[in-house]
Chains A and B, each alone.
Chain A
Amino acid sequence: DGGITQSPKYLFRKEGQNVTLSCEQNLNHDAMYWYRQDPGQGLRLIYYSQIVNDFQKGDIAEGYSVSREKKESFPLTVTSAQKNPTAFYLCASKGGLNEKLFFGSGTQLSVL
């Protein structure tokens, strides 16, 4: 079945550590996105990529980095510069003329 796979489901970060969240899609979509969700709040855009080898900052990119070396993959690194990383992270993709975003099941990141 086609879809978006995020891993791990839960992730813990130690002080000063970088961690990477995985996002893989087999929908053949060109565009991919990373959103952050804090408890009881809406989704905020971190980074997005419209095509392989290209990506743009969203509204809250500070402390995060991404890469888009393959069409299927869009990993997000939460760096030590992100001082408040505890949140739920959602990856999404979009393709063709379809306007809607398809979402993964999310990764909950917590700080030890």
Chain B
Amino acid sequence: AQKITQTQPGMFVQEKEAVTLDCTYDTSDQSYGLFWYKQPSSGEMIFLIYQGSYDEQNATEGRYSLNFQKARKSANLVISASQLGDSAMYFCAMRDTGRRALTFGSGTRLQVQP
């Protein structure tokens, strides 16, 4: 069975600083995909970034980058130049190959302070 672990229930960061949100995963699949979603207080889930297990480069999307370390089974999200609007819950997720669904971690609540 696949498992996603996010060990940081909450994080604080000063505006304009960078922050790293941790995610480790466990899977026996050779091919897999890793995702990060943002959930503001309104509740909708916003896709941020995707990393395929065979991608040679770490994924980047604007201020978001994914620090993918395959041997360590980690897929940490790095947010550069934090903004007040980045305050939200952040979820790491993995593609469940058999069910073609996503398995989610428990999330990290990020609060950006002015």
Contacts and interface: CB of A to CB of B under 8 A. Distances in A.
B99 interface: yes
B100 interface: yes
Interface in B54-98: 91, 95
Given A48-B99, A56-B99, A99-B95, A43 B104 contact: yes
A101 B44 contact: no
B102 interface: yes
Interface string A76-112: 0000000000001010101000011111111010000
Instruction: Kindly name the residue among B33, B102, B103 whose own CB sees the greatest number of chain A CB atoms within 10 A.
Output: B102
B35 A100 contact: yes
A103 B101 contact: no
Contacts of B47: 100-102
A103 B45 contact: yes
Contacts, number: 56
A10 B106 CA distance: 23
B43 A48 contact: no
A50 interface: yes
Nearest to B92: A42
Interface in A21-40: 31, 33, 35, 40
Given A41-B106, A90-B45, A58 B35 contact: no
Interface string A47-65: 0101000001010000000
17 contacts: A42-B6, A42-B104, A42-B105, A42-B107, A44-B104, A50-B100, A88-B43, A92-B45, A94-B100, A99-B33, A99-B52, A99-B95, A100-B50, A101-B45, A102-B47, A105-B42, A108-B43
